[in-house]
Structure 1
Amino acid sequence: MAIPDQPETIATAIEHSTVRRRPTATSAGGLYNSPESTDSSGEDLVKDSGSDDFMDTVDSGVGYSQPPQKHENKTSVLDFAYRPSVPAHRRVKESPLSSDSIFHQLQSHAGLFNLCIVVLVAVNSRLIIENLMKYGFLIKSGFWFSSYSLSDWPLFMCCLSLVVFPFTAFLVEKLAQRKCIPESVVVLLHISITSASVLYPILVILRCDSAFLSGVTLMLLSCVVWLKLVSYAHTSYDMRQLTKSIEKGEAVPNTVNMDYPYSVSFKSLAYFMVAPTLCYQQSYPRTPYIRKGWVFRQVVKLIIFTGVMGFIIEQYINPIVQNSQHPFKGDLLYAIERVLKLSVPNLYVWLCMFYCFFHLWLNILAELLRFGDREFYKDWWNAKTVEDYWRMWNMPVHKWMIRHLYFPCLRQGIPKAVALLIAFLVSALFHELCIAVPCHIFKLWAFGGIMFQVPLVLITHHLQNKFRNSMVGNMIFWFIFSILGQPMCVLLYYHDLMNRKIKLDQS
């Protein structure tokens, strides 16, 4: 089509504009009968009137049957596109900050995320300067190693002696495989071994005036040994029952994936005791080789984040705790202020602890052992209920609970609610042991904190059912668990520990 030498008339501009017209027989197959042309000429022209995008559209000739090549044509089209008759609103659209845009990722919020990072850096920089001006540099020369740690040698010897319990459990299983002892005696011996693996470290810690960190380390290790031995005994018992079923000619599900005949192997038990899992099985998925460079980088990260965690404890948490009062024995507003002030550094320490243990340490251990399944956690930070959080943040413990506690209770006819309560009860008991025993204080603060999660599970589950696609449960979890719960437990145990030391000094 030839381009006219004269500027377009009004009729010609209307023909090339975005005004909607009824389709006619003469316009069939024309410009306005093409959806692509309608979208580009309509929305692109009036999408952002007066912006550079509009001028680029005009320059490129998008939406016109022929691109305007002369300045006069461009001016005529520009004048017509700004007419009041051109529609400014064509589609249903959500605001960028609406819930649909945020949770369905229809809109990028990278700028707001960057703003949060900048504000976080600014606020924490002020806190660092304020803390240094008020307390000075509190990190002492014995930050990494202290001569006082040598006095904890009984706990270290107890830690080394824990290998006796897995070896004894192996001997029991070997005798059971050879049918030298009856099944009832096997169960009784395993109960004795697993109980002793926890009671023995408790007695050692209570009889020795050791450091809190040394006691917590030993208690955590003994609890891990207990969980592993229970899994080993429970799985071995189930394998013996399946072996008897196979020998009787009964059908066994393919999901069992058991090597027949079942054999007791010390090598498999030794690998299981050091592997980053709490659920025993005869073989695990393995990676083909060890990435030495990757391991080195993770070790460097582990050292750095461990130092950051210790720095926050010494420089921030200790002064706040030492200058506080007992939450239940002082001014209520003052206690709330202390808890809120402690919540920020406590949250940083807890996040560093999670990253160091569940991501760095367990992945390092898995890489060195070529352990394949490395789902040590899921996206617990997106949990919409408290129950979702407990299912996702510690996958080794969750798998152990499901395999050796929750579903066995269901198979015995116990209701789901009661089975869930039993799971929380066992978790609360071990949380209390890991904190109360090293502190030599049994006030059940940790036990009550974990059991308080049961009503929170019901509350957040109700809110999630009532408000669909809502993060109310997630906000409740973050507030109760991280902002209120953990700082409160820290203050309670600290003041109870200080009161205990004062009474010992006076006696």
Structure 2
Amino acid sequence: MAIADDSAFSHSSLRRRPTATSDTSAEDLTKDSGSDDSISSAANPQPQKKQQLDSSLLKFAYRPSVPAHRRVKESPLSSDNIFRQSHAGLFNLCIVVLVSVNSRLIIENLIKYGWLIRSGFWFSSKSLRDWPLFMCCLSLVLFPFTAFIVEKLAQRKCIPEPVVVLLHIIITSTSLIYPILVILRCDSAFLSGVTLMLFACIVWLKLVSYAHTNYDMRALTKSVEKGEALPNTLNMDYPYNVSFKSLAYFMVAPTLCYQQSYPRTPYIRKGWVIRQLVKLIIFTGVMGFIIEQYINPIVQNSQHPFKGNLLYAMERVLKLSVPNLYVWLCMFYCFFHLWLNILAELLRFGDREFYKDWWNAKTVEEYWRMWNMPVHKWMIRHLYFPCLRHGIPKAVALLIAFLVSALFHELCIAVPCHIFKLWAFGGIMFQVPLVLITNYLQNKFRNSMVGNMIFWFIFCILGQPMCVLLYYHDLMNRKNKLD
């Protein structure tokens, strides 16, 4: 009888699958969990009954006559299934490989060049000669104060609107031209010049946003005073008010778009800030180590990319691509994640979407929309949509946005180098045809990462290493001519 009962149980289990009302343990044991030969055991509050079911299933359920293939399945690495799987193990493998390869490179570099890190490689006594740039940086606070006075007079209707616009044009232009003249007149270090130019560009972008926003708010206020209804989706900070407190907060906040109030967090996490500062110091040191120990020797031992042997130039670019990528990723992490989040935490600034997952961008256009959200929001708010409202086609508006971006990239690099070869400008404008190419590929091959591969190739291997070599050799040629 026992054998007959076991046989009946075995045949019934083969003929039908357990239903939702069946015993939980039996259902877990017979469920297919990705492999037809796997048996899962679940905890059961009745140990004796569980043992009986386990022994019955092990003895009869997986007999040779039981089908081993029951349904259609894709391989884990197939194109239809690869992004539905967890690849944590492969990610860990990549980390192990990176640590192994880079450890070998570090040892090889130390054997070949020795210890190249100089004491005070970020700051030395020679940096004291850059005091005119430091004073110029401090004097930039005068421009927001002047813009506030103009806006206060405009709010009180002491000066007409055309004069307000003209004064803001003068203020914003001076805030950018003045640092350029200071850098060009001083034989300053490259790092000092880049820092001042970045501050000047940030001040310019903030002042443009401040003037443009207040101009628009005055126009909306006049519409309200005339009795015109505003759409509910506008979410305007009403009533219009010019406050020095709001301007001061905006000038130090991690945003380029002015508004009278921002979403705020309830308190400051002091322990969190300290941890982020420690990370900032560590990654800044890593960035300096890579520059001094790897990038400088490679660049100094290379020729001009457009002169000499093409194969040798390709080898130099490829050799420079890896440390250059590490430095760029460290810079991105230090500035966009650590520094901006630290600043936001200290100011209780709530909106901390400083970047999106740009590393997953399938087109070049997606990358430029996601990697630098403060600049992207400024471009959309104060450049792209105003162009569309004035009847400019979308393609032309996009070209104007890239043109402005290219000009600022050129200023931030060429002015500190005292070299105007338009390498950075050309590199940014080269993104326009890449946008068209990757958009075409994305539309043709749906759900593909072809555009992402093109982006990484251009970004890591061709673009940045080439610009580094070009500017370095032009800078060396300029120094040789001066000497």
Q: Calculate the TM-score normalised by the size of structure 1.
A: 0.88
Residue 339 (structure 2) aligns with: 361
Note if contact 2:10-2:61 (Cα within 8 Å) is conserved in structure 1: no
| Amino acid corresponding to residue 395 of structure 2 in structure 1 | A
Q: Secondary structure of the residue that 2:11 maps to in structure 1?
A: coil
Q: Secondary structure of the residue that 2:151 maps to in structure 1?
A: helix
Q: 1:500 to 1:84 in 2, by over 3 A?
A: same
Q: 1:261 to 1:463 in 2, by over 3 A?
A: same
Give the count of matched residue pairs.
479
Note if contact 2:405-2:428 (Cα within 8 Å) is conserved in structure 1: yes
| Amino acid corresponding to residue 80 of structure 2 in structure 1 | D
CA distance in 1, matches of 2:82, 2:17: 35
Q: Calculate the TM-score normalised by the size of structure 2.
A: 0.92
Residue 293 (structure 1) aligns with: 271
CA distance in 1, matches of 2:20, 2:346: 59
CA distance in 2, matches of 1:45, 1:296: 45
Aligned counterparts, 1:280-429, within 5 A: 280-429=258-407
Query: Are residues 1:136 and 2:136 paired?
Result: no
Note if contact 1:299-1:360 (Cα within 8 Å) is conserved in structure 2: yes
CA distance in 2, matches of 1:428, 1:68: 69
Residue 73 (structure 2) aligns with: 93
How far off its partner does 1:100 sit?
2.7
Of 404-413 and 162-171, deviating more is 162-171
Q: 1:61 to 1:409 in 2, by over 3 A?
A: farther
CA distance in 2, matches of 1:225, 1:216: 14
Residue among 203, 206, 215 paired with 1:225: 203
Residue 435 (structure 2) aligns with: 457
Note if contact 1:268-1:283 (Cα within 8 Å) is conserved in structure 2: yes
Q: Secondary structure of the residue that 1:16 maps to in structure 2?
A: helix
How far off its partner does 1:142 sit?
2.2
How far off its partner does 1:102 sit?
2.0
Residue 467 (structure 1) aligns with: 445
How far off its partner does 1:255 sit?
3.4
How far off its partner does 1:326 sit?
0.5
Deviation string, structure 1 residues 308-364 (Cα, Å, up to 9, x no partner): 111110001000000011110021111111111111111110011011111111111
How far off its partner does 1:33 sit?
7.8
CA distance in 2, matches of 1:463, 1:94: 25
Note if contact 2:304-2:473 (Cα within 8 Å) is conserved in structure 1: yes
Note if contact 1:19-1:86 (Cα within 8 Å) is conserved in structure 2: no
Residue 245 (structure 1) aligns with: 223
Aligned counterparts, 1:118-157, within 5 A: 118-157=96-135
Q: Secondary structure of the residue that 1:99 maps to in structure 2?
A: coil
Residue 83 (structure 2) aligns with: 103
Residue 10 (structure 2) aligns with: 16
| Amino acid corresponding to residue 134 of structure 1 in structure 2 | K
How far off its partner does 1:258 sit?
3.5
Query: Are residues 1:163 and 2:157 paired?
Result: no
The structure whose Rg is larger is 1
What is the CA RMSD across the aligned residues, in angstroms? 2.7
Note if contact 2:13-2:61 (Cα within 8 Å) is conserved in structure 1: no
CA distance in 2, matches of 1:477, 1:45: 38
Query: Are residues 1:503 and 2:475 paired?
Result: no
CA distance in 2, matches of 1:101, 1:62: 38
Q: Secondary structure of the residue that 1:17 maps to in structure 2?
A: helix
| Amino acid corresponding to residue 66 of structure 2 in structure 1 | V
Query: Are residues 1:205 and 2:199 paired?
Result: no
CA distance in 2, matches of 1:32, 1:139: 69
Aligned counterparts, 1:170-189, within 5 A: 170-189=148-167
CA distance in 2, matches of 1:171, 1:218: 25
How far off its partner does 1:257 sit?
3.4
Aligned counterparts, 1:24-39, within 5 A: 34=19
CA distance in 2, matches of 1:398, 1:281: 16
Deviation string, structure 1 residues 425-474 (Cα, Å, up to 9, x no partner): 00000000000000000010000100111111111111111111111111
Q: 1:86 to 1:145 in 2, by over 3 A?
A: same
Note if contact 1:377-1:394 (Cα within 8 Å) is conserved in structure 2: yes
How far off its partner does 1:301 sit?
1.1
Aligned counterparts, 1:40-51, within 5 A: 47-49=35-37
CA distance in 2, matches of 1:266, 1:52: 70
How far off its partner does 1:176 sit?
1.2
Note if contact 1:387-1:457 (Cα within 8 Å) is conserved in structure 2: yes
Q: 1:350 to 1:20 in 2, by over 3 A?
A: same
CA distance in 2, matches of 1:341, 1:349: 14
Note if contact 1:235-1:281 (Cα within 8 Å) is conserved in structure 2: yes
CA distance in 1, matches of 2:269, 2:313: 49
Note if contact 2:36-2:69 (Cα within 8 Å) is conserved in structure 1: no
| Amino acid corresponding to residue 329 of structure 1 in structure 2 | K
CA distance in 2, matches of 1:397, 1:385: 18
Q: 1:43 to 1:63 in 2, by over 3 A?
A: farther
How far off its partner does 1:144 sit?
3.8
How far off its partner does 1:61 sit?
10
Q: 1:329 to 1:79 in 2, by over 3 A?
A: same
How far off its partner does 1:78 sit?
5.8
CA distance in 1, matches of 2:33, 2:264: 58
Of 361-370 and 148-157, deviating more is 361-370
CA distance in 2, matches of 1:276, 1:401: 16
Deviation string, structure 1 residues 380-404 (Cα, Å, up to 9, x no partner): 1111111111111111000000000
Query: Are residues 1:234 and 2:212 paired?
Result: yes
Of 107-116 and 413-422, deviating more is 107-116
CA distance in 2, matches of 1:46, 1:116: 25
Q: Gaps (5+ residues) in structure 1?
A: 22-30
CA distance in 2, matches of 1:479, 1:197: 37
Note if contact 2:36-2:68 (Cα within 8 Å) is conserved in structure 1: no
Q: 1:12 to 1:299 in 2, by over 3 A?
A: closer
Of 177-186 and 450-459, deviating more is 177-186
| Amino acid corresponding to residue 67 of structure 2 in structure 1 | P
Q: 1:388 to 1:32 in 2, by over 3 A?
A: closer
| Amino acid corresponding to residue 78 of structure 2 in structure 1 | S
| Amino acid corresponding to residue 196 of structure 1 in structure 2 | T
How far off its partner does 1:180 sit?
1.7
Note if contact 1:47-1:88 (Cα within 8 Å) is conserved in structure 2: no
Residue 24 (structure 1) aligns with: none
Q: 1:81 to 1:330 in 2, by over 3 A?
A: same
